[in-house]
Amino acid sequence: MKRLVFHITLPLTIIAAVMLGSCKNGSKEVTYSKVEVTEDVAEIVFDTLSHDYGDVLPDTTTSFDFVFHNIGATPLYLESVVPGCGCTKTLWPKGSIDPGEAGVITAIYDSHGREPGHFAKSIRVFSNAKTSFVRLSISGGIVDN
């Protein structure tokens, strides 16, 4: 019984600590400082993980550039960038991003045929980085004309 309680409470405690630690004043912006590279790997860090488009007019497209940096010691390759639905498209670099260099993933939201109201979409980024999976998010509100 003690083992069962341990296997349930430990993961829940870790999840709660991570979630509480990541909430600072409601900000979703990620900041980073220069880190010491101790492994011979690529590492991806984004300037921000989310963007709120605010009010979006019906039947328009809008875009945002997610800037990322390779803070690792080897070239970074994006393996795939997968939008969560058909209303979101992405543009991303297909070549390598050398250590110390930056790249851009452009998220394009298309409101054509969408009902007025709030939207929230995700974009999954897979790479050869030590942190091989990152989730980006976009949101906003389609307004009535």
Which tokens go with 8? 């349930």
Overall size of the chain counted in residues: 145
| CA separation, residue 28 to residues 38, 66, 115 (Å) | 27, 13, 26
Which alpha helices (DSSP H) does the chain contain, by range?
Answer: 2-21
User: If pLDDT is split at 50, 70 and 90, which confidence band does 144 have?
Assistant: confident
The answer to whether position 20 is within a domain reads: no
The answer to whether position 70 is within a domain reads: yes
> Which pLDDT tens digit goes with each residue over 17-72?
333 333 333 334 434 444 445 568 999 999 999 999 999 999 999 999 999 999 99
> Which pLDDT tens digit goes with each residue over 108-139?
999 999 999 999 999 999 999 999 999 999 99
The answer to whether position 2 is within a domain reads: no
The answer to whether position 10 is within a domain reads: no
| CA separation, residue 140 to residues 34, 69, 80, 135 (Å) | 32, 26, 24, 17
State which residues form the domain around 73.
28-142
The answer to whether position 3 is within a domain reads: no
Query: Domain count of the chain?
Result: 1
Name the residue among 37, 33, 46, 29 with its Cα closest to residue 92.
46
How far apart CA 61 and CA 75 sit, in angstroms, is: 33
The answer to whether position 13 is within a domain reads: no
